[in-house]
Structure 1
Amino acid sequence: MSVDIRTPYGVVRAVDKVSFQARRGETLALLGESGCGKSMTATAVVGLLEPVADVTEGAVRITGADGTATDLRTASAKRRRDLAGKELAIVFQDALTALNPVYTVGTQLAEPFRIHRGLSRKAARKEAIELMRRVGIPEPETRVDSYPHQFSGGMRQRLLIAIGVALSPAVLLADEPTTALDVTVQAQIMSLLKDLREERDMAVVLITHDLALVFEQADRVVVMYAGNVVEQGLVEEVFGAPKHPYTAGLLESVPVHAERGAELKSIGGSPPELAAIPAGCVYQDRCPIVRDRCREERPAAREVAPGHLSACHFPDEVKNR
């Protein structure tokens, strides 16, 4: 799938032929620096791109419980509405702006049940209370009539997850669900997502730049850079033996064995501007093993081990600490 953005200076490509699969019962992580296209990919999948952005090519296929695959790009507006919440849902990173401040949380939690299941107001309210209890909101019978601003950040994130999983979707996209939360609350939120994934046999697509979170929570990882997928595979394989210099650089920047006074390692330079993506490898300006071929030819993703793909001309030369 590719996504273009119209700017005052011309059209730029924000997502370039990104391809991956999310399977039921597993967590797939989209990993990369800010601005690499992770959230743009997610909003394109669920059809929530800003008016200046367009999906220009590719397909977004979702397979229902009956085995029937639907391409969300070509589906009618009615079909997309039918699938929203029931087959595909998204949890945004800022719960305070994602929740409507003028409606009670009970009203917002009950809405999916009223729209998609035709429940009465009373029955939908009962479902909302049970959902609040399931995601760990204390005293849901009394708090169901509270407004979003009356909850803490962690509780609001739980409410957002509750709305996302209300109808047991096949795929749940979680866009940095632990941003701005303290470490203890982060652990609680991720534990909740894991329990819900196993309980409802969902595919969870976790969007993050936190390597530790990926290692602890994900089964497979897709590493993105400048709108491109540069590496993907099982987390233990990609983190244990990275085959792209960008992935190796990310792992090396984590201060695992840091000592007081020691220099912290980082990836030099900055990601390229979207309007100035180089013709060859997108990572060439920051790559420690760059060659002339890298500046002339864009490397295609190829299998370097079973299920492990890398978009690098020289994957065997990538060094891991």
Structure 2
Amino acid sequence: MSENEKAAALEVEDLSVDLRTQHGTVRAVDGVGFTVRSGRTLALLGESGCGKSMTAQAVAGLLDPVASVAGGTVRLGGADVLTMDRAARRKIAGPGLSIVFQDALTALNPVQTVGAQLGEPFRIHRGMSRRAALGKAAELMERVGIPDPKARLSAYPHQFSGGMRQRLLIAMAVALDPDVLLADEPTTALDVTVQAQIMELLDELRTERDMAVVLITHDLAVVADHADDVTVMYAGRVVESGPVAEVFADPRHPYTRGLLASVPARVGRGEELRSIGGGPPELHAIPPGCAFQARCPLVQDVCRTERPALAGTAPGRAAACHFAKEPARV
């Protein structure tokens, strides 16, 4: 079976999230949709504040109290998790859907041993004894590359390095073989070498367990090296999507082109480093028409009055730009 013939593990359609702020209620995630299949990695890419992490939190049911889902569907194995009650969502948390956060020291309980934390999913979901759960915890620690795991079951999170804590967090997330793993900036604050090791570990686990992975990141190099598909977000909306190799080789939205042009590796010695001028609009002041208009080199009158729809540009690809099918001019 080819990758594209595999069943969709996670389908997100028209997901919207409202956020209560001092300026009133704003739409932080606006009609976002994507599909990720088993054994593949989909990257949600964009600048800080574009809504990618809030999208993941909405999918996982972990929104802050000031945020709420305003509409859409999130299908996991065909069932809409947004309509499930709390008990049903707790049941799928682990075997169905799991998440890796970016700050392992905050995500791990500082007053519990790592053995107790890694063993907890087995005790809750599989009814294992404490001893059996600790045995599973040691196996997980060994699998994610933590040396001398049995001796370190009684250690606490602060006794591990940043990279090792992130490995512990990944071990907890994959303990029950989830169908879908959400990885929210999993290499933040780690040095380059450790970042590479963590991403390689995620790739290995995805292949071994045939997981679908949703990778939330702003790192273009990580997307290029580790993702199969990409969904580019801007101001809470999807502006481009498709296979990574095709999107990066021939981006159809000016924002995607700007992101790729700003990569230092693409600039020759002595050349000026390009950047996207300005910044994203405030959520309470998104202009009519295209949200990218103030920063776009292709802007025309239609961009200021009509919001471009996310439309197909090629098989498996889409972009939300009035000029997406025209030859690139940036």
TM-score bracket, normalised by the shorter chain, equals over 0.9
Indicate the SS of the match to 2:245: helix
Instruction: Give the distance between the partners of 2:98 and 2:65, measured in 1 at CA.
Output: 20
What is the CA deviation profile of residues 195-253 of structure 1, one whole-angstrom value per residue up to 9, with x for unaligned ones?
A: 00010000000000000000000000000000000000000110000000000000000
List structure 1 runs of 4+ shifted beyond 3 angstroms.
none
Q: Structure 2 vs 1, CA of residues 130 and 320 (structure 1 numbering), >3 Å: closer, same or farther? A: farther
Aligned with 2:245 (options 228, 236, 245): 236
Instruction: Give the distance between the partners of 2:220 and 2:114, measured in 1 at CA.
Output: 32
Instruction: Give the distance between the partners of 1:152 and 1:256, measured in 2 at CA.
Output: 30
| Partner residue, 2:61 | 47
After TM superposition, the structure 1 = structure 2 runs for residues 1-321 of structure 1, keeping only pairs within 5 Å, are 1-63=15-77, 69-317=78-326, 319=328
Instruction: Give the distance between the partners of 1:81 and 1:320, measured in 2 at CA.
Output: 49
Indicate the SS of the match to 2:302: helix
Instruction: Give the distance between the partners of 1:62 and 1:183, measured in 2 at CA.
Output: 33
Identity of paired residues, percent?
68
The AA in structure 2 aligned to 1:145 is S
Indicate the SS of the match to 1:110: helix
Instruction: Give the distance between the partners of 1:298 and 1:186, measured in 2 at CA.
Output: 38
What's the C-alpha RMSD, in Å, of the aligned pairs? Answer: 1.0
Q: What's the TM-score once normalised by structure 1's chain length?
A: 0.97
Deviates more, 1:306-315 or 1:255-264: 255-264
Instruction: Give the distance between the partners of 2:266 and 2:196, measured in 1 at CA.
Output: 23
Unaligned runs of 5+ in 2: 1-14
The AA in structure 1 aligned to 2:170 is I
Please identify which structure carries the higher strand content.
2
- The CA deviation at 1:33 is 0.4
Q: Structure 2 vs 1, CA of residues 52 and 250 (structure 1 numbering), >3 Å: closer, same or farther? A: same
Instruction: Give the distance between the partners of 1:234 and 1:172, measured in 2 at CA.
Output: 19
What is the CA deviation profile of residues 132-173 of structure 1, one whole-angstrom value per residue up to 9, with x for unaligned ones?
A: 000000000111110000000000000000000000000000
May I ask how many residue pairs the two structures share in their alignment?
Answer: 316
Instruction: Give the distance between the partners of 2:21 and 2:149, measured in 1 at CA.
Output: 46
Instruction: Give the distance between the partners of 2:28 and 2:208, measured in 1 at CA.
Output: 35
Instruction: Give the distance between the partners of 2:265 and 2:155, measured in 1 at CA.
Output: 43
Instruction: Give the distance between the partners of 2:122 and 2:301, measured in 1 at CA.
Output: 58
Q: Structure 2 vs 1, CA of residues 315 and 170 (structure 1 numbering), >3 Å: closer, same or farther? A: same
Q: Structure 2 vs 1, CA of residues 193 and 320 (structure 1 numbering), >3 Å: closer, same or farther? A: farther
Indicate the SS of the match to 1:17: strand
Instruction: Give the distance between the partners of 2:73 and 2:325, measured in 1 at CA.
Output: 32
Q: Structure 2 vs 1, CA of residues 320 and 128 (structure 1 numbering), >3 Å: closer, same or farther? A: farther
8 Å contact from structure 1 (residues 229, 311) kept in 2: yes
- The CA deviation at 1:255 is 1.8
8 Å contact from structure 1 (residues 244, 318) kept in 2: no
Instruction: Give the distance between the partners of 2:21 and 2:327, measured in 1 at CA.
Output: 36
The AA in structure 2 aligned to 1:45 is V
- The CA deviation at 1:9 is 1.9
Instruction: Give the distance between the partners of 2:226 and 2:110, measured in 1 at CA.
Output: 31
Q: Structure 2 vs 1, CA of residues 5 and 311 (structure 1 numbering), >3 Å: closer, same or farther? A: same
Unaligned runs of 5+ in 1: 64-68
Instruction: Give the distance between the partners of 2:319 and 2:197, measured in 1 at CA.
Output: 33
Q: Structure 2 vs 1, CA of residues 257 and 48 (structure 1 numbering), >3 Å: closer, same or farther? A: closer
The AA in structure 1 aligned to 2:110 is P
Instruction: Give the distance between the partners of 1:314 and 1:258, measured in 2 at CA.
Output: 26
The AA in structure 2 aligned to 1:89 is S
- The CA deviation at 1:76 is 1.3
8 Å contact from structure 1 (residues 31, 222) kept in 2: yes
- The CA deviation at 1:278 is 1.0
